[in-house]
Amino acid sequence: NTMELILQDIQHSNSQIEGKISEINSSISSLDRRLDTTERRISDAEDMIQNLEANISHLQEEIVKIQGKTEDLENRSQRCNLRIVGLPEGVEGKDPVAFLEDWLPSFLNLPEMTGKLEIERAHCTFMPRPEDSERPRILLFKLLRFHDKEIILRQARKANPLRYKNKQIYFFPDMGANLYQKRKSFSEVKRMCKDLEIPFALLYPARFRIDFKGQCLFF
C-alpha cells in the first residue's frame, strides 16, 4: 500500500511537471512567433530608414543645386547694378536717373559717355533718411549696358581717391549677400598683396588673381 501511494504521488508529480513543460513550450512558441514578427518589423523599418536616408541625401543634393542656381540668377539680375557709397544725401534730387546720366560722365572724366549713358533706374537703399551728422544712404542704380558698368568701375579705380563736395566717393558692384561674403573673404589677402606690392585682381564672381614672378595664379 505504501508503495502504491508513492507511485501515485510520483505519477501525479510527473503529470504536473508535464503540464508545466507544456505551458513553457507553448510560451516559448508564442515568444518565437513574436520574435519573428519583431525581427520582420525591424527589417522593414531598416529598409525604410535606408530608403529615407537615400531620399534625404538626394534632396540635399537637389537643394544645393537649386541654391546655386538661385544665387546665380540673383547675381545675374544684379550684373548691371552699381552702388555709390558716400554721395551726399539728397544731391540726386527727385530724378536720380537724370542726375546720374548727366553727372557721372563729367565726374569720372568720361566725355565719350556724355549724352550716351543710359540708366534704367536708380534709388537710395531702403532705409530711413539719415540725419545730417549720419552717414548718407547708398545710391543704387542699374545701367542699361554691362559694358558701361565696366568702364565706370575701371575709371573709378584709376581716378581713386574720388571726392565730391569734399566727400570721399566709392563705387562698388551690386551683388547678393552670399557672393558678397565670398568676395569679402579675400579682404585680408588683398591687404597683404597691397603691402607687398603684388599685383592682384578680384574677378567676378569670386576669383582672386595674383600676378607673381611671371605667373598668373587663380584662387
- The pLDDT tens digits for 76-106 are 778 899 999 999 999 999 999 999 999 999 9
Identify the CA nearest to 135 among candidates 99, 88, 183. Answer: 88
Share of the chain above pLDDT 70, in %: 100
Q: How far apart are CA 186 and CA 84, in angstroms?
A: 21
Chain centroid to CA 161: how far? 33
Residues 40 and 72 in one domain: yes
Query: Among the three residues 77, 112, 136, which one is the final residue of a domain in this structure?
Result: 77
Residues 39 and 118 in one domain: no
Residues 69 and 87 in one domain: no
Residues 62 and 7 in one domain: yes
Residues 124 and 57 in one domain: no
pLDDT-derived band at 49, boundaries 50, 70, 90:
very high
Query: Among the three residues 77, 107, 133, which one is the final residue of a domain in this structure?
Result: 77
| Residue 212 pLDDT > 70 | yes
Determine the pLDDT at residue 173.
87
Residues 116 and 182 in one domain: no
**CATH number of the domain encompassing residue 219:** 3.30.250.20
Count up the domains in the chain and report the number.
3
Determine the pLDDT at residue 20.
86
Determine the pLDDT at residue 121.
94
Determine the pLDDT at residue 32.
87
Chain centroid to CA 192: how far? 27
pLDDT-derived band at 60, boundaries 50, 70, 90:
very high
Query: Among the three residues 56, 77, 98, which one is the final residue of a domain in this structure?
Result: 77
As a three-state string, the secondary structure of the chain is: CHHHHHHHHHHHHHHHHHHHHHHHHHHHHHHHHHHHHHHHHHHHHHHHHHHHHHHHHHHHHHHHHHHHHHHHHHHHHCCCEEEEECCCCCCCCCCHHHHHHHHHHHHCCCHHHCCCCCEEEEEECCCCCCCCCCCCCCEEEEECCHHHHHHHHHHHHHHCCEEECCEEEEEEECCCHHHHHHHHCCHHHHHHHHHCCCCEEEECCCEEEEEECCEEEEC
Determine the pLDDT at residue 122.
95
Determine the pLDDT at residue 162.
92
Give the cell for residue 104: 557721372
Residue 171 backbone phi and psi in degrees, to 5? -110, 130
Residues 124 and 60 in one domain: no
Residue 84: Cβ-neighbour burial (10 angstroms; 0-12, 13-18, 19+): buried
Residues 156 and 116 in one domain: yes
CB 76 within 8 A of CB 176: no
Residues 90 and 50 in one domain: no
**How high does pLDDT run on average in the chain?**
88
Q: What angle do CA 107, 112, 117 make, to 5 degrees?
A: 70
| Residue 125 pLDDT > 90 | no
Share of the chain above pLDDT 90, in %: 45
| Mean pLDDT across 183-199 | 89
| Mean pLDDT across 14-28 | 83
Domain range enclosing 203: 177-219
Residues 96 and 157 in one domain: yes
Question: CA separation (Å) from 46 to 40, 41, 49, 51, 74?
Answer: 10, 9, 5, 9, 41
Residues 149 and 190 in one domain: no
pLDDT-derived band at 1, boundaries 50, 70, 90:
low
Determine the pLDDT at residue 11.
78
Determine the pLDDT at residue 153.
92
Residues 161 and 133 in one domain: yes
pTM: 0.59
Q: How far apart are CA 127 and CA 134, in angstroms?
A: 12
Q: What is the pLDDT of residues 141-178, one digit of tens each?
A: 999 999 999 999 999 988 888 999 989 999 988 877 78
**CATH number of the domain encompassing residue 163:** 3.30.70.1820
